[in-house]
């Protein structure tokens, strides 16, 4: 059976990401979606991107890498578009530059960041949608970094909504025919507001966990900060109850 895995915010914590990936036992028919925020705040931004590039090179399964607001700020800081580059350093960007060996010598950054990393960052998508194999358990799925504007159809969602929105989305239902799986806003546990949304940023870099939702079987994989142990939880019954 093909499975769909969705991974929340990593924020430059490579050891926990490596532990998670080593537990998933990915197969060729599976698909793995990352919701963005691979960099900033944590110490290992470069190492995280290296891990993701190695995963793509291995062609273990289907892969989708989405852009988070932190990648968007970094790209703008580097001069490749994006937004709010002026806020990059104060939002964990110093740690990212340090991982590339160019803090405080910011002028060294263009020579220190590999071209493969730039291409990876520039190639990140904004959303991923898929079909729900068992419609008794919910709607079709839409994966985005931050959320959506509940008042707009999908075609009218802007980059600002997909990368930055918070409580205007989190606290309200929406009329789109999707269960939206999102990160961006850290919470102690997964936030279920079904059939509308599921939040899977559980604050790894703040001492929480890295969370991965396996959509097909409704299973959650979690790695606590500083741990290599992966906790596996069946949330199928919770899903049926609507959270």
Over residues 153-179, the pLDDT tens digits come to 999 999 999 999 999 999 999 999 999
For residues 39 and 12, is the Cβ–Cβ distance under 8 A? yes
Quick one: pLDDT band at residue 237, thresholds 50, 70, 90? confident
Quick one: pLDDT band at residue 243, thresholds 50, 70, 90? low
The residue assigned the tokens 């537990």 is 23
For residues 51 and 14, is the Cβ–Cβ distance under 8 A? yes
| Domain map (residue ranges) of the chain | 4-68+127-240
Q: Which residue has better confidence, 137 or 74?
A: 74
Quick one: pLDDT band at residue 139, thresholds 50, 70, 90? low
Here the tokens at position 167 are: 């409580």
Quick one: pLDDT band at residue 131, thresholds 50, 70, 90? low
**CATH number, domain 4-68+127-240:** 3.60.21.10
- Cα distances (Å, whole numbers) of residue 162 to 3, 98, 183, 192, 217: 24, 28, 10, 19, 26
Share of the chain above pLDDT 70, in %: 96
Per DSSP, the three-state class of 191 is: strand
């Amino acid at each position: 059976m093909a499975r769909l895995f969705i991974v929340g915010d990593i924020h430059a914590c490579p050891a926990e990401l490596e532990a998670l990936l080593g537990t998933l036992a990915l197969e060729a028919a599976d698909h793995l979606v990352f919701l963005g925020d691979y960099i900033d705040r944590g110490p290992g931004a470069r190492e995280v991107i290296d891990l993701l590039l190695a995963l793509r090179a291995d062609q273990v399964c289907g892969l989708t890498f989405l852009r988070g607001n932190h990648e968007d700020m970094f790209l703008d800081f580097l001069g490749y578009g994006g937004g709010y580059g002026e806020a990059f350093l104060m939002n964990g960007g110093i740690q990212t530059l340090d991982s590339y060996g160019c803090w405080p010598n910011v002028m060294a950054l263009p020579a220190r960041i590999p071209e493969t990393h730039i291409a990876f960052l520039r190639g990140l998508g904004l959303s991923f949608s898929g079909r729900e194999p068992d419609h008794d358990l919910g709607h079709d799925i839409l994966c985005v970094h931050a959320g959506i504007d509940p008042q707009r159809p999908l075609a009218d969602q802007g980059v600002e909504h997909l990368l930055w929105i918070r409580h205007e989305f989190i606290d309200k239902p929406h009329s789109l025919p999707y269960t939206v799986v999102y990160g961006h806003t850290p919470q102690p546990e997964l936030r279920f507001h079904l059939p509308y949304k599921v939040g899977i940023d559980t604050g790894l870099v703040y001492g929480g966990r890295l969370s991965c939702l396996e959509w097909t079987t409704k299973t959650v994989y979690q790695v606590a900060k500083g741990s290599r142990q992966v906790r596996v939880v069946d949330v199928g019954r919770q899903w049926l109850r609507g959270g």
